[in-house]
Amino acid sequence: MEQAAMTRAAAKVGQDADYSENLETEQIVWSEAAVAMALTQSDTGLRCHYLASDATVSTETDELAIGNLFDGASANTDGPLSWLYLADNGSSATTACWQPHYPRLAPVIDAATQLSFPAYFTGELGAAGGVYRLLHLYLGYLNAGHRGFTLQCEISQRLYRAVAVFSWQQASNISDS
């Protein structure tokens, strides 16, 4: 009782107080990020061949959403994937969402397909992670490091799963499509 009274008194006068006895500990890693982009119309840039998402929440790591999204990407891609941007930040739960379904991409991957896990270099960026990975793959194409098709897979901890397939469109090729 005396300790609680002292804690309240310290808080009233603006001094540091220890509230740890009243807090539940959670395994949350807080992160903050911001990505600023200016979008303009252009005849050159990313072309989206496939885009699908699922907002069904599953408590099971062997969920069907990513498998179905990978099936859709395989069926709607006209060639092998050069790059896979997969949602992975070292969390085994995140990896478990996509890893069992990776074989469903077999029709569109080959020995030259490269994997990209930018979160291992940047750390967890929270809600800005997907936009950062999109910017990363955009710059890869812009700087001629990427060719062909790129798949981007996004998984949020609580709700959202999405897959998109991109390629680079040059201005001279737009009238040909």
Tell me how far CA of residue 10 lies from CA of 4, 21, 147, in angstroms.
Answer: 10, 15, 62
Q: What is the pLDDT of residue 13?
A: 45
Task: Flag whether 84 is in a domain.
Answer: yes
pLDDT in tens for each of the 177 residues of the chain?
444 444 444 444 444 444 445 445 555 555 566 667 777 888 888 999 999 998 766 565 457 889 999 999 999 999 999 999 887 777 788 888 889 999 999 999 999 999 988 766 666 666 677 787 888 889 999 898 889 999 999 887 777 889 999 999 987 655 544
What pLDDT sits at residue 22? Answer: 45
Residue 57 maps to a domain: yes
Q: Which domain holds residue 133?
A: 45-174
Task: Decide if 34 is inside a domain.
Answer: no
Query: Which pLDDT does position 78 carry in this prediction?
Result: 92
CATH number at residue 62: 3.40.47.10
The pLDDT value recorded for residue 26 is 52
Contact by Cβ (8 Å): 162, 84: no
pLDDT digits (tens, 9 = 90+) for 92-107: 888 888 899 999 999 9
Question: Shortest CA distance to 72 belongs to which of 131, 151, 168?
Answer: 151
Residue 7 within a domain: no
Dig out the tokens for 53 from the structure. Answer: 């998402």
Domain count, the chain: 1
Q: Does 21 fall in a domain? A: no
pLDDT for 28 equals 56
Residue 101 is predicted with a pLDDT of 94
Q: Measured in whole angstroms, how far is the alpha carbon of residue 63 from the centre of its chain?
A: 17
pTM for the model: 0.71
